[in-house]
Amino acid sequence: MELSDELLQQIDDYLNNRLAPDARAEFEAQMTSRPVLQTEVATQRRLLNTMATLKTKQKLKEAYQQYALEAAQTPKVRPLPWTTYAVAASVVGIMVTAAYFATNWFKPNTEVAFNQYYQPEVGARGDCPQDLPAFKLYEQKQYQAALVAAQALSDDSTHCISYFIGLNFLATNQFGNAILALQVAQQSSNLTTRRKAAWYLGLAYLQANDAPQAERVFRKMVSENDPENPYLRPATNILKQFF
């Protein structure tokens, strides 16, 4: 797929969080209708993360070279005490450790986080009617069939259908569509649906490898500090482990 310069700039602005909320939503809507664009965005995000990691490794290398140069220029009048060697070894150890984390943990490992915390919602029916065929398909793990059945339904005031559709998109790895559906579900008048939608929206951002947006969702959840929210603790754990 050959992309225009304008679209490439949009991708760059999207990945670097330079788009206004309306423009971001419009761009995500484009990704929903253009799977190839989703793939391109994911590719560009991986490139950005790789470049960031390489830059950090280069800085560590330069710092070590500077340290080695200064050490070589230090007059050797007498043997250095063991404490000096211990300090030098500590510096080298810190740099080696930092290099390791720069390679592996410079950015939040969104795939690991998603796989560790994602589980299909058991009570996916929520506040919706309990006899809809779509829910039975979901419980049988026929997510694609459940998605088709749910999309034929009209949403109600609790936005439970949008929430349910988002869950099926998430289960079928359609992260762009999952994000859009769960954003709609967050407008629900039902507190339980809003809580669930927020949790799975954060996971959808993880699945999309969009760490900044995932962090924003989880931090908002934690900042509300609602002890009745069952997702407060896992959101807190995600922030501690991956951000």
Give residue-wise pLDDT tens across range 62-99.
766 776 777 666 665 555 554 554 555 555 555 555 54
Distance CA 150, CA 171 (A): 14
Q: Which of 31, 17, 27, 11 is nearest to 176 (CA)?
A: 31
In tens, the pLDDT along 219-242 reads 999 999 999 999 999 999 999 988
How confident is the model at residue 106, as a pLDDT?
46
pLDDT at residue 230, as a whole number: 93
What tens digit of pLDDT does each residue of 33-69 get?
A: 777 777 787 777 777 766 765 665 566 667 667 767 7
pLDDT score at 102: 46
User: What are the Cα distances from residue 98, in Å, to 63, 70, 86, 138, 243?
Assistant: 12, 20, 18, 44, 16
Q: Residue 119 burial (CB < 10 Å; 0-12/13-18/19+)?
A: exposed
Contact by Cβ (8 Å): 27, 17 = no
- What pLDDT was estimated at residue 202? 96
CB atoms within 10 A of CB 108: 20
- Backbone φ and ψ of 16, nearest 5°: -100, 15
- Give the whole-number percent of the chain exceeding pLDDT 70: 74
Identify the DSSP state of 172. Answer: T
Please give the average per-residue pLDDT across 18-43, as a whole number: 79
Ranges 55-64, 143-152, 155-164: which has the least confidence: 55-64
Q: Residue 165 class from Cβ within 10 Å (0-12 exposed, 13-18 middle, 19+ buried)?
A: buried
What pLDDT, on the 0 to 100 scale, is given for residue 94?
54
Task: Describe the chain by its helix, strand, coil percentages, rounded to 5.
Answer: 70, 0, 30
Helices (H) and strands (E) in the chain, counts: 12, 0
- Can you give the pLDDT at residue 28? 79
Q: How far apart are CA 13 and CA 73, in angstroms?
A: 46
- Mean pLDDT for the stretch of residues 181-198: 92
CB 106: neighbour CB atoms within 10 A?
A: 17
pLDDT for 98-133, tens place per residue? 544 444 444 568 888 898 899 888 777 767 776 788
Q: What is the CA radius of gyration of the chain?
A: 24
Q: How high is the pLDDT of residue 105?
A: 42
Measured distance CA(100)–CA(116) in Å, rounded: 22
